[in-house]
């Protein structure tokens, strides 16, 4: 597998192998890869002749320094997982200096409100950080398609908005959430949960599934009350937010309308580890 650390070396290598007949797929990651990432990479491999996986822990999207410091860096293990998928994967693993030169700061974007709710409301500046790095990675690699997981559904919608706003010619593809056997959405953060909490965290998806059943015939207000009470009664999980939103605008809804798609979004703390998840409701 080839590993590049600088934008220029990666660009000139890609220019030397790209052609109209060879499509490039990209999977941007922050490393600590798990089977959820593997599913994105497998899809990129199946739909493109060239697959680039970036591994970069992006400091500007962390609003909490402790979270950044604790973020697992497992490059050797990540390369082994990728190698099992294909020896032809190209890894881009730049340093912070390479991506940001002297100023480690974000650009400011107008994501037209998509960044004002949920993750954006609880993690100030997070989506400007995501936008800054994803824009830079997409401009460096110039892929035909880029793959992102639906676990970060808000991020996915914001990246779609980003490429439209910045006129970046790439197709953004959302891929389904992969789950552990108890339903917990796969995430690099799950590694920080002890065995008991990892088991208990299956409660998050159980609750989301019940919300989706209730959505058919109960009011938003009663669903919210029920779900909030479930978490209040749970000794180990603390609800940060639960929101039922229009999938397109991400704004919370008070009632349902015809021809709209809705999703429930949740963020929960399990002993200081922040877990997010979501489920389509119709």
Residues designated catalytic:
37
Total Cβ atoms within 10 A of residue 121? 12
Q: Please check whether residue 166 is in contact with residue 109, taking contact to mean a CB–CB distance below 8 angstroms.
A: no
CB 130 → ligand PAF: shortest distance, Å? 5
Q: Which residues pair with 233 in a beta bridge?
A: none
Site string for ligand PAF, 154-193 (x = CB under 6 A): -x--------------------------------------
Of residues 48, 58, 157, 245, which one binds ligand PAF by CB under 6 A? 58
Q: How far is the CB of 128 from ligand PAF (least distance, A)?
A: 12
Q: Which residues lie below 8 Å from residue 195, measured CB to CB, with a gap of 6+?
A: none
Among 41, 53, 130, 242, binds ligand PAF (CB under 6 A): 130
Q: Which residue in the set 4, 25, 28, 193 belongs to the binding site for ligand PAF (CB under 6 A)?
A: 28
Number of residues that bind ligand PAF (CB under 6 A): 10
To the nearest 10°, report the CA torsion of 172, 247, 118, 254.
170
DSSP state of 89: P
Contact between 29 and ligand PAF (CB under 6 A)? yes
* H-helix or E-strand spanning residue 164: helix 153-165
Options 102-110, 127-135, 177-185, 244-252: segment touching ligand PAF (CB under 6 A): 127-135
Give 134 or 201: the residue with its C-beta nearer to ligand PAF. 134
Q: With respect to ligand PAF, which residue has the nearer C-beta, 146 or 208?
A: 146
Binding of ligand PAF by 200 (CB under 6 A): no
If one counts every other C-beta atom within 10 angstroms of the C-beta of residue 261, the result is 11
Q: Which two tokens stand for residue 126?
A: 């997070």
C-alpha to C-alpha distance for 47 and 156, rounded to whole angstroms: 19
Residue 275 DSSP class: E
Kindly list the residues in this chain that would bind ligand PAF in the complex (CB under 6 A).
Answer: 28-30, 58, 61, 130, 133-134, 152, 155
């Amino acid at each position: 597998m080839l590993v590049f650390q600088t934008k220029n070396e990666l660009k000139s290598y890609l220019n030397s192998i790209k052609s109209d007949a060879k499509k490039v797929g990209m999977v941007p990651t922050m490393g600590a890869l798990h089977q959820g990432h593997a599913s994105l990479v497998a899809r990129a491999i199946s739909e493109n002749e060239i697959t680039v996986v970036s591994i970069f822990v992006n400091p500007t999207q962390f609003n909490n320094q402790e979270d950044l410091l604790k973020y697992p860096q497992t490059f050797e293990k990540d390369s082994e997982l990728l190698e099992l998928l294909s020896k032809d994967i190209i890894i881009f693993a730049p340093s912070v200096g390479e991506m940001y030169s002297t100023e480690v700061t974000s650009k400011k974007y107008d994501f037209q409100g998509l960044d004002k709710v949920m993750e954006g409301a609880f993690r100030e500046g997070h989506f400007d950080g995501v936008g800054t790095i994803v824009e830079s990675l997409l401009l460096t690699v110039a892929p035909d398609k880029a793959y992102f997981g639906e676990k970060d559904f808000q991020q996915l919608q914001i990246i779609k908005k980003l490429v439209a706003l910045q006129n970046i010619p790439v197709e953004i593809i959302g891929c389904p959430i992969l789950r552990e056997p108890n339903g917990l959405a796969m995430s690099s953060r799950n590694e920080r949960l002890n065995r008991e909490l990892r088991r208990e965290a299956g409660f998050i998806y159980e609750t989301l599934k019940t919300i989706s059943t209730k959505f058919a015939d109960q009011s938003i207000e009663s669903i919210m009350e029920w779900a909030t009470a479930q978490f209040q009664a749970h000794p180990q999980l603390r609800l940060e937010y639960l929101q039922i939103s229009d999938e397109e605008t991400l704004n919370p809804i008070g009632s349902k309308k015809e021809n709209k798609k809705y999703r429930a979004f949740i963020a929960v703390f399990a002993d200081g580890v922040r877990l997010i998840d979501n489920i389509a409701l119709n």
